[in-house]
Amino acid sequence: MDGRNVSVISPTIPAAEPNDDLRTQHAHWVAYLAVALSKANAVSPVMLVLSGTNGPLVTALGFSQRASRRAVGGYVLVEADIPSAQSRINDWPDAPVFYVASPTADPDACMQARLRGWTMIDVPDLSAPVVSAALANLL
């Protein structure tokens, strides 16, 4: 890294209420993360990193940051599901999108990321040190 002060915020998401449907769970998840970023006094621009089934929520999380007047410097999807066209909010993406993929990544997701013009970051595996090193180059 180049000496910049970097903070990593990785809040633990509380368990969903038993009667919540998936849409309600997603809305609570996005709101919870938005509040966590505000409470942590995250300095703009923020880099939002999501993985797995959380990928489609990236558009709503990005919108929540813009609504909070916090600039997003980029989005990183680590072998994440791709947001559908219907889930895209207005002008998303409003910052560069990076897709981190290992050799075991879903080829369809990788193809969609490439077709959308996102920067592909190929890593040999998804171990924490390897992914951290790949993301450090983005800062």
Count of structural domains, the chain = 1
Query: Which two tokens mark 96?
Result: 């560069």
Report the interhelical angle of 22-39 vs 58-67 (nearest 10°): 40
> Residue 80 maps to which CATH number?
3.40.50
Over residues 12-62, the pLDDT tens digits come to 666 778 888 888 887 888 888 888 878 877 777 888 888 888 888 888 888
87 pLDDT exceeds 70? Answer: no
What is the pLDDT at residue 2? 46
Sheet with strand 72-78: strands edge to edge: 46-51, 72-78, 97-101, 119-122
Is residue 28 domain-resident?
yes
Is residue 129 domain-resident?
yes
Domain region containing 57: 22-136
Measured between alpha carbons, how far is residue 103 from residues 97, 109, 135 in Å?
20, 12, 17
Claim: this prediction has a pTM higher than 0.85: no
Is residue 87 domain-resident?
yes
The SS3 of residue 20 is coil
